[in-house]
């Protein structure tokens, strides 16, 4: 004969286990992870210099290579002046060293030359999601600011 106390204990243990499994199976509200803002300089950036006539593209790669391309559109044709080199960052500081200049008309390369042109040297940058702001000084030392939009899969954001 089974003692009533033993039956009660077994029943209590089974009931407690059932409750624990039921609570564990309930859907829990997970804390929503906030969408992370883009703060990376890497990628392709665009700014229209003269809408429909001239544009500037910047490309910052993870291997510290840099491309600056000025594209001019006229009478259905395009001329591209492309500068390549290296970039370095420290905090919000940006320094660009140009090594080469390539001039193209359409898809035809006209010239390739070494270059020591200077763009955005000793500047400061801020990336706020899909906008890149570069603060720099022009040739005569006046404070300047350029705001670029990120290009994602050939679409300017």
CA dihedral 90, 96, 97, 102 (to 10 degrees): 150
Q: Where are the domains of the chain?
A: 43-156
Q: Which residue ranges in the chain fall short of pLDDT 50?
A: 5-6, 14-15, 17
pLDDT at residue 155, as a whole number: 64
Burial of 134 (0-12, 13-18, 19+ CB in 10 A): buried
Give the span between the Cα atoms of 138 and 121, in whole angstroms. 9
Which pLDDT belongs to residue 21?
55
Q: What is the pLDDT of residues 62-82, one digit of tens each?
A: 999 999 999 999 888 899 999
The enclosing H or E element of 19 equals: helix 4-25
Which residue, among 50, 53, 47, has the nearest Cα to 79 in the 3D structure? 53
Instruction: Match domain 43-156 to its CATH number in 1.10.3470, 2.30.29, 2.40.160, 2.40.128.
Output: 2.40.128
Concatenate the DSSP letters of all residues of 83-145 into one string. Answer: EEEEEEEETTEEEEEEEEEEEEETTEEEEEEE----SSTTEEEEEETTEEEEEEE-TTS-EEE
Give the model's pLDDT for residue 148: 95
């Amino acid at each position: 004969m089974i003692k009533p106390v033993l039956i009660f204990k077994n029943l209590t243990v089974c009931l407690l286990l059932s409750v624990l499994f039921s609570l564990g199976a309930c859907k829990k509200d997970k804390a929503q992870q906030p969408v992370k803002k883009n703060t990376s300089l890497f990628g392709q950036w665009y700014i229209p210099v003269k809408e429909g006539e001239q544009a500037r593209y910047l490309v910052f790669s993870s291997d510290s290579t840099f491309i600056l391309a000025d594209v001019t559109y006229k009478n259905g044709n395009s001329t591209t002046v492309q500068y390549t080199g290296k970039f370095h960052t420290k905090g919000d500081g940006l320094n660009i060293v140009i090594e080469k200049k390539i001039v193209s008309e359409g898809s035809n390369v006209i010239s390739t030359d070494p270059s020591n042109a200077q763009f955005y040297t000793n500047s400061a940058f801020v990336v706020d999601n899909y906008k890149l702001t570069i603060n720099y000084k022009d040739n005569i030392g006046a404070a300047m600011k350029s705001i670029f939009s990120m290009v994602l899969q050939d679409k300017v954001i």
